[in-house]
Amino acid sequence: MEFFNLTMHQIKEKLGKKDVKATEILDDVLKRIDDVEDKIGAHITLTEDMAYKKAEEIDKKIENNQSIGILGGIPMSIKDNICTEGILTTCASKMLQDFVPPYSAAVYEKLLTEDAVMLGKSNMDEFGMGSSTETSFYKKTKNPWNMSKVPGGSSGGSAAAVSAGECFFALGSDTGGSVRQPSAFCGVVGLKPTYGLVSRYGLIAVANSLDQIGPITKDVKDCALVLNIIAGHDPKDATSDKRKRIDYLQGLDDGIDGLKIGIAEQYFDEELSEPVENALLEAIGVFKDLGATCKMVSLPHTKYAMAVYYIISQSEISTNLSRFDGVKYGHRTSDYKNIDELISNTRGEGFGDEVKRRIIMGTYWLNGDNYKKYYEKANEIRKFIKQDFNNIFSECDVLLAPVTATTAFDLGLGCNIPSEKYKVDRYTVPANLAGIPAISIPCGFHDGLPIGMQLMGRKFDEGTLLKTAKAFEGSTDFNSRPKL
Amino acid sequence: MKTVIGLEIHVGLLTKSKMFCSCSTDLGNIQNSQCCPVCLGMPGVLPSLNKKVIYYGIMAGLALNCNINKRSKMVRKNYFCPELVKGYQITQYDEPLCSGGFLEIGRGDTIKKIGINRIHIEEDTGESIHAYEDETLLDYNRSGAPLIEIITEPHLNSGEETREFLETLKDILKCIGVSDVKTGEGSFCFDVNINVVDTGRNISTDITKLKNLNSFKSVTKAIEFEENRHRQLIEQNKDTCRGTRHRDDVENRTRIMGAEAVTDEYRYFPETDIMSIVLSDEEINEIKKSLTGLLPYIGGS
Ligand SMILES: [Zn+2]
């Protein structure tokens, strides 16, 4: 029997009824990987041995009627910028080609505690910098819906793996859209939680005031299931929020009668392609039928979001990546005569062009008077962008927007035109700047490629987002899997 | 002619664990035996600020009559060197823990108030050991150990005064128990900023920085040497060049270390992985109470 196209909650049910063994599920997923991974290229590292060990352990527990964790027997992929003890963690960079961390990210530990089966590390743009997974030092990942298209990025490997049935869920990280955009391109569900909801301990930082780890799943219920595990306070992350944990499965099916949905004029701009706009307009109709009211709202500072994002993220990148100097771990040049050469040649050889470009830009924004001129200004404007969201969330519960202007673009297109590429993030970046939660769910197809819809919500109100997404998913039929 | 001296003093704190992790701060153990992913600056790890460091910083601030700022924040000071594990040092800059204090030196009629500009908390770096000719070994046992940096106003006017100030400061810090203030072991060392002003002609030499002095004797000698050098320059109407000088105890002189201009480019940047330090009056008063009776300097005010 084939299992790889089932959702997590379906697998959970089967395991619970002892209809199937964890090892059988793993067999099936590994067979699927055998069949499609060469074409898709979603993973940098596969951990089959480890996976079998864990699956066997779980089968034994089930056999002995011992209780298993919530994710017991469910194979997962983890983005390669999330530290996994004893498993290669490269950030898709030459710099960390042989880096095996002696510690784990908090989220990974939580997932292991719930008995998830670790299957592998997924491909990404180098250090999360890119929107197509093409800046990876190791391989190009293909979009499972169309092999000539990119999967999106930077969590492109994670989204492609889930979409292609190579795992049941994956973790990504989202700094400016890196979970939502590939999820939209690959036709899966991707959530960027509120900043502070999920511990960043063990996530190799890109821009630490924007980064947030999020689940990529096949449907909304699975998303809630994973969020239940990874959310919650972590004393090792000072920015992690202390509020009480919520069960995101509770109320998931409550419906959205009376929900107030805002539609921001700034997100339906001249960049938005017709197919995506049409899909969103139809989605608005669906929400109305479900009992929601929709109204136009305005977020006037949205037009500054990209400029603010460049400056803040690149500034943070320039200092976050300073630790890669070849002294203690990672790549070290063999071409040096003194310490200065060791550091600069290591960085010259270890980082790709996009990473260097952003480090150089960030260094510029922070240099001397530029700090006041650019970085401080950007932070001031960031406050206005946050305020915009506060204002609209006093009159509506959810904001509906596109994730991307178009469907997945051609491979090779995004690589050499950085300024063009940055535009890809235009609809996703504001949520990171404001620290609010945002989810991408499938809402249509165009030319055989999935279209994503973005729903943004109040801080720590993932519950409403998930409920809204679930209502839409339940009354539409866009949640399908690619034929491979 | 007047000699003008300001000090930057680094004081190692007596906390049991480091500033952002639970590694020990003990000195003299086997190299690299007191390290973890956090104090080695490994990718993905995050700092958790040790509350005791804030507490000790406040104690020092109160003992030196400073304002304790109810809101202060950590920043990143960016520069590359192998002893610095993350490529930046976590320190304070525009919003320090304590500001605007003073310390009195002298007795009776000759009492003089030396202004304290600020006290901030920061992490120490590792150490290079030049064991062999071509090799540098690195010991990160001190990496991430907590320090306070005390920055004085330029109110000192001689080597003798400077020595007296430092001795008084040492007694106070020892008395309140925040540091063992051992000069030889790096828990008490100082940078001296010095120049000479000709008040009559209203001209002055450029400031010279003497770095990493760690004994009272070397401070007074270095100041004496530098004082004479500056006086000669000013008498010859020559300016000194702005630079960092290194005290050479063996030759009893100072050597230029490289243009200070380089150090102006630290690209100070907010450390948003650590929340701003927010203090209440109650918390500060609690610490004040714990100091009462320890020192004559701290009254009921
Ligand atoms: Zn440590």
Inter-residue contact A177 to A403 (CB < 8 Å): yes
Residue type at position A235: P
State residue A132's pLDDT score.
Answer: 94
Tell me how crowded residue B275 is: count the other CB atoms within 10 A of its CB.
12
Minimum distance, in Å, between the CA of residue B58 and any CA atom of chain A: 21
Q: How far apart are CA B6 and CA A399, in angstroms?
A: 57
Q: How far apart are CA A376 and CA A311, in angstroms?
A: 10
Which H or E run includes A416? none
Residue with tokens 């993030």: A425
Q: How far apart are CA A280 and CA A107, in angstroms?
A: 33
Band the pLDDT of B212: cuts 50, 70, 90. confident
Q: What share of chain B is helix, strand, coil (3-state, %, to 5)?
A: 25, 30, 45
B139 located within any domain: yes
A283 located within any domain: no
State residue A96's pLDDT score.
Answer: 98
Residue with tokens 């927010």: B278
Distance from residue B23's CA to the centre of ligand 1 (Å) = 4
A43 located within any domain: yes
State residue B214's pLDDT score.
Answer: 84
Inter-chain contact A103–B138, Cβ cutoff 8 Å?
Answer: no
Which H or E run includes B110? none
B48 located within any domain: yes
Query: Half-sphere exposure of A294 toward its Cβ, with a 13 Å CA cutoff?
Result: 19
Domain total for chain B?
A: 1
The three-state (H, E, C) secondary structure of B49-86, written as one string: CCHHHHHHHHHHHHHCCCEECCEECCEEEECCCCCCCC
Inter-residue contact B260 to B28 (CB < 8 Å): no
The DSSP code for B255 is E
Which H or E run includes A463? helix A462-475
What is the per-residue pLDDT across A335-347, written as a single tens digit (0 to 9) for each?
A: 999 999 999 999 9
B292 located within any domain: no
In terms of C-beta density within 10 A (0-12 exposed, 13-18 middle, 19 or more buried), how is residue A36 classed? buried
The DSSP code for A149 is B
Of B80, B264, B274, the CB nearest to A322: B80
State residue B256's pLDDT score.
Answer: 59
State residue B261's pLDDT score.
Answer: 41
Residue with tokens 């990546």: A321
Inter-residue contact A299 to A334 (CB < 8 Å): no
Minimum distance, in Å, between the CA of residue B82 and any CA atom of chain A: 6
Window from A258-262, B3-7, B292-296 with minimum mean pLDDT: B292-296
Q: How far apart are CA B187 and CA B145, in angstroms?
A: 10
Residue A293 to residues A411, A449, B142, B191, Cα–Cα distance (Å): 39, 29, 60, 67
Please give the structure tokens belonging to residue A269: 């701009």
Tell me how crowded residue A156 is: count the other CB atoms within 10 A of its CB.
36
B299 located within any domain: no
Q: How far apart are CA A318 and CA A337, in angstroms?
A: 25
Chain A neighbors of B267, CB-CB under 8 A: 318-319, 363, 366-367, 371
Inter-residue contact B240 to B226 (CB < 8 Å): no
Window from A61-75, A351-365, A416-430 with minimum mean pLDDT: A416-430
Is the pLDDT reported for residue A416 higher than 60?
no
Please, which residues have CB within 8 angstroms of residue B223's CB and are 6 or more apart in sequence?
B3, B5, B158, B159, B162, B192, B194, B210
Band the pLDDT of B107: cuts 50, 70, 90. confident
What mean pLDDT is predicted for residues A257-274? 96
The DSSP code for B205 is P
Is the pLDDT reported for residue B59 higher than 70?
yes
What is the per-residue pLDDT across B118-163, written as a single tens digit (0 to 9) for each?
A: 999 999 999 999 877 778 899 999 999 999 999 999 999 999 999 9
A303 located within any domain: no
Q: How far apart are CA B168 and CA B161, in angstroms?
A: 11
A279 located within any domain: no
Chain B neighbors of A346, CB-CB under 8 A: none
Inter-residue contact A107 to B44 (CB < 8 Å): no
Please, which residues have CB within 8 angstroms of residue A34's CB and are 6 or more apart in sequence?
none
State residue B249's pLDDT score.
Answer: 58
Please give the structure tokens belonging to residue A146: 């169309």
Query: What is the ipTM, given to two decimal places?
Result: 0.95
Which range of residues forms the domain containing residue A31?
3-258
Instruction: Please identify among residues 118-137 of chain B the ones whose CB lies closer than 8 Å to any CB of chain A.
Output: 136
Which H or E run includes B264? none
CB contacts < 8 A, A to B, total 99
State residue A413's pLDDT score.
Answer: 78
CA B52 to chain centre: 18
CATH number at residue A94: 3.90.1300.10
Q: How far apart are CA B9 and CA B192, in angstroms?
A: 9
What is the per-residue pLDDT across A156-177, written as a single tens digit (0 to 9) for each?
A: 999 999 999 999 999 999 999 9
Residue with tokens 């330029």: B154
Inter-residue contact A229 to A110 (CB < 8 Å): yes
Mean pLDDT for chain A overall: 96
Largest CA distance in chain B: 58
Is the pLDDT reported for residue A417 higher than 60?
no
B175 located within any domain: yes
State residue B301's pLDDT score.
Answer: 36
Q: How far apart are CA B288 and CA B294, in angstroms?
A: 10
Phi, psi for B71 (deg, rounded to 5): -135, 125
Tell me how crowded residue B55 is: count the other CB atoms within 10 A of its CB.
16
What mean pLDDT is predicted for residues B243-268? 61
State residue B239's pLDDT score.
Answer: 66
A121 located within any domain: yes
Which range of residues forms the domain containing residue B10?
2-282
Minimum distance, in Å, between the CA of residue A306 and any CA atom of chain B: 21
- Chain A touched by B44 (CB under 8 Å): yes
- Chain B touched by A86 (CB under 8 Å): no
Residue with tokens 């007191």: B34
Q: How far apart are CA A410 and CA A431, in angstroms?
A: 26
Is the pLDDT reported for residue B258 higher than 60?
no
Please, which residues have CB within 8 angstroms of residue B121's CB and are 6 or more apart in sequence?
B19, B53, B54, B57, B91, B92, B97, B146, B147, B148
Is the pLDDT reported for residue A414 higher than 80?
no
Domain total for chain A?
A: 1
CA A240 to chain centre: 18
A153 located within any domain: yes
Instruction: Please identify among residues 203-262 of chain B the ones whose CB lies closer than 8 Å to any CB of chain A.
Output: none
Minimum distance, in Å, between the CA of residue B127 and any CA atom of chain A: 13
What mean pLDDT is predicted for residues A187-212? 98
What is the per-residue pLDDT across A25-55, written as a single tens digit (0 to 9) for each?
A: 999 999 999 999 999 999 999 999 999 999 9
Catalytic site residues of A? 79, 154, 178
Inter-chain contact A83–B44, Cβ cutoff 8 Å?
Answer: yes
Helical axes B51-63 vs B159-176, angle rounded to 10°: 130
Strand-pair category, B127-129 with B137-139: antiparallel
Rounded to two decimals, what is the model's pTM?
0.94
State residue B131's pLDDT score.
Answer: 76
Residue with tokens 């492109």: A156
Nearest by Cα to B89 from B129, B146, B12, B158: B146
Please give the structure tokens belonging to residue A165: 């049935």
What mean pLDDT is predicted for residues A97-119? 98
Please give the structure tokens belonging to residue B288: 């004040």
Is the pLDDT reported for residue A327 higher than 80?
yes
CA B23 to chain centre: 22
Phi-psi label, residue A177: left if phi above 0, alpha if psi -120 to 50, beta otherwise: left
A270 located within any domain: no
In terms of C-beta density within 10 A (0-12 exposed, 13-18 middle, 19 or more buried), how is residue A168 classed? buried
A208 located within any domain: yes
B251 located within any domain: yes
Band the pLDDT of B262: cuts 50, 70, 90. very low
B257 located within any domain: yes
Inter-residue contact A403 to A184 (CB < 8 Å): yes
Band the pLDDT of B264: cuts 50, 70, 90. low
Inter-chain contact B42–A101, Cβ cutoff 8 Å?
Answer: yes
